[in-house]
């Protein structure tokens, strides 16, 4: 038997399994679970495996397809579709954003993290010192005009 992601959301929580799902279904599952429990019980991986397109399906040779495509293009390009998805799954957005905030805490950087910047700074000091020495040497050995 094949189950969809939405139907297996309780198994994902209780059995600690991972399921390959589309982002829209999981946003809806996160939204509904947060609404019911008040907790963020799911985590969506930050990097998708591949881009998934969501599409409406019509019967073959449907006369609605051409007109629907025209209006759907307008709605997608204007952001109406994305806004509608975000509004209908607003609790998923709060769960996902709180997770991002926790993960993106700025770490304390060590010397090796900044080694490139220090190397650039030391290299600049070295080159500028060489330029100054060259100017002093050229100025010192320049013969004076006796006119």
The 8-class DSSP code of residue 104 comes to T
Measure CA of the first residue to CA of the last residue in the chain; give whole Å: 104
Domain locations in the chain as residue ranges: 9-105, 108-142
Q: From 49, 47, 55, 4, select the one nearest 29 (Cα to Cα).
A: 4
For the residues of 43-57, what is the DSSP string, one character each?
A: ---SS-SS-------
Task: Count how many Cα atoms sit within 13 Å of the Cα of residue 46 in the half-sphere of its side chain.
Answer: 6
Give the pLDDT confidence of 21-64 residue by residue, as tens digits.
877 888 888 888 888 888 888 877 777 676 666 777 888 888 88
d(CA 42, CA 28): 11
Give the tens place of pLDDT for each residue, 94-136.
777 654 444 444 566 676 777 888 899 999 999 999 999 999 9
Write down the pLDDT at residue 101.
Answer: 47
């Amino acid at each position: 038997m094949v189950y969809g992601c939405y139907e297996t959301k309780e198994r994902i929580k209780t059995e600690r399994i991972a399921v390959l799902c589309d982002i829209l279904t999981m946003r809806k599952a996160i939204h509904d679970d947060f609404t019911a429990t008040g907790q963020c019980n799911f985590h969506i991986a930050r990097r998708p495996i591949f881009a998934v397109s969501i599409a409406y399906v019509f019967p073959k040779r449907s006369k609605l397809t051409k007109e629907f495509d025209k209006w759907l293009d307008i709605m997608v390009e204007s952001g109406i579709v994305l806004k509608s998805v975000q509004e209908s799954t607003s609790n998923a957005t709060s769960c996902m954003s709180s997770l991002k905030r926790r993960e993106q805490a700025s770490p304390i950087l060590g010397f090796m993290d900044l080694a490139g910047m220090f190397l650039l700074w030391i290299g600049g000091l070295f080159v500028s010192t060489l330029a100054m020495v060259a100017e002093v040497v050229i100025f010192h050995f320049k013969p004076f005009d006796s006119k």
